[in-house]
Structure 1
């Protein structure tokens, strides 16, 4: 008890020191600047993790809560006096009194005029820096004694500095830094979680593919690669989007090549031919125009189906005019937090636009780094969402029979952080008719008909299943129809 009292007394002494007060003052400034910058850049609100209880200044704590409520409850897209005042008028009396006490909208207006809101990243890092230093002071670390060094450091350098101090203290010991756990701790709970399907993801709209892929688990990336014209968007629609619709699963499509109508027309076509197999409805009618009465009737039925069976806003779409991974990550953060969306599609992975214009010889490195940034945001310990990413294979191996990670070209390391790498090509004419590929479904051998088109799926990487066999689907990209056919094995060594 005496020891505990001494520790509390020591903590109070630290908190009351002049040095601590200086750090606290710097933290308050950074907090105010960040919160005001968020008022100027509402779209960035979810990019910065700020805990209300950690905001030091009570007035700016209130203004942060006000902004959070405006975004979450009213889902506003911009800030102005009329909008803010109208919202506050709907809140409880105590809420309104605090708003008035702290100066109302005038306080926001004055602060916006004085704060450089474009430096929002720097403000956030400054806030984190001083919050960290205050905690170090409370724990008795020698911050003040080494202030000449520390004050010039950024947050990353401070982290390395104090890690070095701690590591130095243990340098002559055999103490292991990694946590050692009992392997079978909570084994019963782990079994129960597995039984409940905790790790089961959204199934692909193909039992054949799903048997290998085992769904799209949260916290992971699935990378789909194919050459230009093979049908990456076609497969994304038929395997992923239709599955989200079938299972009523919210989805956000982030596109940078195709416009929204193409996705809609593909889904309309898929419904018509599934519901009316003999209609022979081909999506080229959308390019031809001048619909026949029969086509109008079929399209009206399909439109009515989607209107009645797909909840409003469950499938969201954004077309990026200029691709940028930083902007993509912001969109994912926003919609994962604001709308609790768990599944995202990025169609197609590209270099950031500013890199393309510079013709950077190390563009592959940017692609690799961007994928790492993407994974760090969506992984289980962060947002815990799934992202389906499409990418184009290198042009010089269009005739390769066996597809693997090297088919991605110099950017092959983008696959390092993905859970599943699925590579797709069309079955060649020489592989049909039982001449080239031995295809089986169960114990039955299947002959590929020469008049049909087939897609061949390779798994170079698959954390949820095997990679030792390839799947074949029959496809009709004009009528948006797919059918499971069977499995084959291609000897990599002979290709």
Structure 2
């Protein structure tokens, strides 16, 4: 008799799960369709069609995911019908009620977008329960002792049955990871080394800078810091963006201080300098007083750009509000479309900071950027260059290291390379008290190897010093890497490498 009561109880529970799932799945898919750009970018990789109890909502979820992957941002009637025919799924589309079914779901939930995470978790929990039930039967749906399955979330259910259901638990965690053996065949190890090297994107026309890090590596973050209004955007535009143009690599540029038109000016100047050995007075580009000769040069620059890249190769996104959650959605959306290079100019404290201390947000957001960038565990395998502003007090420091990042210096942990630069000081010029003894390497005319050719920095010119306090691909300043000396030529948006220097480790107050 007790056994019969148990069977009846389980049947009622199964029926209740199916009835509630019909509503939750409809609401979840309705929210996905109501705002595909934002919602599919967040959930498309976290759930799959077979996880839906009801085939109708699994069908509409998968149809929407396919359209989203093709770059469709709004699911209007004409587009949906076109794609249904293209995918050859018209029979199922008609069986499930065509647009009427999904339109009804969208109409119900359109005003409640904040609930999407709840419906997502419900769908995922139902999937775990179904899989557990397949393995363990009725006992999964029967409360016993401290086991109250209705009060448990999906992680707690998986942990409870962990000794028997390890695989299902691992398949349903959001925090992705990969496991490898330390030992692999030597040839496989060599192949991976060669692959990593091949995936390096060199800095544009920058032999000395490339000698420091070998370029920008996929799956890694490079932080590039400078003081306000000293040229972070200009340097990254020439060294990184121009390299993407030269190598015809897809690049996503995220701006939050200047707009796309201002950024184009830098690229036009760099192209004119490197391709045509000419330039334009930058002031005439800003005030609009272009001469006919200037316009001819601009036409040449864009003709060269069109020759090197397609119109869609480089995307520029201006974020009026720098919100890290929105940034992640944007990056993942374009990464899914082959944009493997990312430039964030400039990384700062997110406008939706929830921390009491701003630096905590700066650090947490850098963790998010690394999580998106990395090769494994759910990352997009990007080459990411992030510019950031150095702390104001560090302008008094002759030697730049992690202290120049300020209270948020823990952000360095997320980067494989940290570079930062400053203009030289007045006492570092030739003939001054702290003049820098710089050098460049020249081939030895009497044999193999190189010789150091020493020089000093001429008064009347502007120079920058690029420090490398962190470098996973070579030496850093504390273990032998000299400081790179460059000469900015702003009217050409060119930063000429002129040699090396060793800078005394002196900071304010020492």
What TM-score, normalized by structure 2, do the two folds share? Answer: 0.83
Q: Which residue of 1 aligns with 2:172?
A: none
Q: Any stretches of 5+ residues in structure 1 without a counterpart?
A: 1-12, 168-178
Q: CA deviation at 1:123?
A: 1.9
2:426 to 429, 436, 439: 429
- Give the superposition deviation at 1:17: 6.7
- Hey, what does 1:9 align to over in structure 2? none
Count of residue correspondences: 463
Give the deviation of 1:148 after TM superposition.
5.4
Which of residues 470, 487, 491 in structure 2 aligns to 1:474?
487
Which residue in the other structure is 1:174 paired with? Answer: none
- 1:253/1:317 contact within 8 Å kept: yes
Q: Does 1:80 align with 2:76?
A: yes
Q: Is the 8 A contact 2:398 2:506 kept in 1?
A: no
Residue 396 of structure 2 is aligned to residue 402 of structure 1: no
The CA deviation at 1:159 is: 6.0
Q: Name the residue aligned to 2:269.
A: 269
CA RMSD of aligned residues (A): 3.0
Structure 1 contact 270–480 (Cα < 8 Å) conserved: yes
How far off is 1:181 after superposition?
A: 7.5
In structure 1, the partner of 2:215 is 215
Residue 106 of structure 2 corresponds to which residue in structure 1? Answer: 112
The alignment partner of 1:281 has SS state of: coil
**CA contact 2:245–2:305 (8 Å) conserved in 1:** no
Residue deviations 1:8-51 (CA, integer Å, cap 9, x gap)? xxxxx9xx976566556655554333222110111121211222
Taking structure 1 as reference, are residues 257 and 66 closer, same or farther at Cα in structure 2, changes over 3 Å only? same
Question: Matches of 1:280 and 1:373 in 2, distance apart?
Answer: 39
Quote the residue 2:53 is aligned against: 56
CA distance in 1, matches of 2:461, 2:315: 34
Deviation at 1:372, TM superposition (A): 1.5
Map of 1:195 onto structure 2: 194
Structure-2 separation of matches of 1:139 and 1:297: 73
Counterpart in the other structure of 2:34:
40
Task: Identify the residue that residue 364 of structure 1 maps to in structure 2.
Answer: 359
Cα deviations across residues 324-345 of structure 1 (Å, max 9, x unaligned)? 00000000110111x1111111
1:173 corresponds to which residue? none
Q: Once the 2 structures are TM-superposed, how far is the Cα of residue 472 of structure 1 from its aligned partner? A: 1.4
Q: 2:348 touches 2:388 (CA, 8 Å); kept in 1?
A: yes
CA positional deviation for 1:350: 1.9
Contact kept in structure 2, 1:36 and 1:117, CA below 8 Å: no
Q: Which range is displaced more, 461-470 or 18-27?
A: 18-27
Q: Does residue 291 of structure 2 align to residue 292 of structure 1?
A: yes
3-state SS in 2 of match to 1:409: helix
Q: 1:109 deviation in Å?
A: 1.0
Superposition pairs of residues 443-458 of structure 1, within 5 angstroms: 443-444=451-452, 445-458=454-467
Gap change, CA 1:466 and 1:161, over 3 Å in 2: farther
Structure 1 pair 461/199, CA: closer, same or farther in 2 (3 Å)? farther
* Closer, same or farther: CA 349–61 of 1 in aligned 2, 3 Å: same
